[in-house]
Amino acid sequence: MSHPLLSVEDVSKSYDGFKAITNLTFYLNAGELRTVIGPNGAGKSTFFDLITGRAKPDCGKIEFGDTAASTQDLTSLNEFEINRLGIGRKFQTPSVYSDHTVWENLLLSLKGPRGVFASLFHRLTSTDHDRLHEILATVRLESKHDWKAGLLAHGEKQWLEIGMLLAQDPKVLLVDEPAAGMTDDETDRTGDLLLSLAGKHSLIVIEHDMAFVKQIARHGQVTVLHQGSVLCEGKFEEVQANPKVREVYLGRGKHGSR
Ligand code: ADP
Ligand code: MG
């Protein structure tokens, strides 16, 4: 049996008595692209808060590591330490440095010297230089490398931020609703981008847009969260056909199509 890269076991989290996450169990294998769906308030973003150390679980285990021997207990680490282990998160709203160029934004995200001045004037190794160029190509912003990030379209900012995540070279990328506010064309390209990262990286993508979920979940598993727990897990078609899922989520129609 392969060792899961990330294990979340029987985790709960309450806020003022309100159970945001209840007995949640979830495993992610290396190289997987897992899609997490669920109605508003299902606990999806809180799930990311718990993995990244932004919030601490009331009980349960969260562990990360390629092998049993290298497995680390994430609940004992802070946000910075968890990020340094190789878990990167992209929040819903893009947070790029508007006054810096696309290239500088990527530079600033590289592991290495801290602080804006050190990052911008530190001599890049040719390996880092090549890697940033590869990332620019991956997120399709080569032609805009010298644009101020503030001038990019919404979708391009989101891609730049995914590029900034990649510059940190994380093992796991946590991406929260990347298609929110995007045009259909941008959404489609974002799906291709995320699919191209699977295998090399492990990803958990939270998403609402069902057309987008269908696109990115082609080969992977979908986890449905409801009231802080896993309602069901499986291939997109299985999940879509599950009567419980239809009742709490798809059946409402609101998020059923784009
Ligand atoms: P989703 O991302 O699935 O829409 P969230 O994880 O954001 O849902 O929220 C799940 C529930 O937990 C919501 O009812 C929300 O109000 C509550 N919650 C999340 N984070 C906090 C917090 N820091 N303080 C209080 N309540 C929170
Ligand atoms: Mg959310």
What are the pLDDT tens digits along the chain (258 aa)?
A: 578 999 999 999 999 999 999 999 999 999 999 999 999 999 999 999 999 999 999 999 999 999 989 999 999 999 999 999 999 999 877 789 999 999 999 998 886 655 555 566 666 778 888 999 999 999 999 999 999 999 999 999 999 999 999 999 999 999 999 998 899 999 999 999 999 999 999 999 999 888 899 999 988 999 999 999 999 999 999 999 999 998 887 555 444 444
**Predicted pLDDT at 119:** 61
Q: Alpha-carbon distance 194 to 187, whole Å?
A: 11
**Predicted pLDDT at 209:** 84
Q: Alpha-carbon distance 63 to 110, whole Å?
A: 25
Q: Alpha-carbon distance 64 to 210, whole Å?
A: 29
Token pair for residue 224? 């449905």
**Is residue 228 in contact with ligand 1, taking CB distance under 6 Å?**
no
Mutate to test the pocket of ligand 1, among 11, 13, 14, 15 (most ligand atoms within 8 A of CB): 15
Q: How many CB atoms lie within 10 A of CB 28?
A: 21
**Predicted pLDDT at 255:** 46
Gap from CA of 171 to ligand 2 centroid (Å):
22
As a residue count, the chain comes to 258
**Is residue 44 in contact with ligand 1, taking CB distance under 6 Å?**
yes
Token pair for residue 209? 């847009």
Q: Alpha-carbon distance 101 to 250, whole Å?
A: 41
Pairing mode of beta strands 222-226, 33-37: parallel
Gap from CA of 23 to ligand 1 centroid (Å):
16
Mutate to test the pocket of ligand 1, among 18, 46, 230 (most ligand atoms within 8 A of CB): 46
Ligand sitting nearest the alpha carbon of 20: 1
**Is residue 45 in contact with ligand 1, taking CB distance under 6 Å?**
yes
Gap from CA of 107 to ligand 2 centroid (Å):
29
**Predicted pLDDT at 257:** 41
**Residue nearest atom 18 of ligand 1, based on CA coordinates:** 20
Token pair for residue 124? 């890049």
Token pair for residue 167? 């510059």
Q: Alpha-carbon distance 28 to 235, whole Å?
A: 15
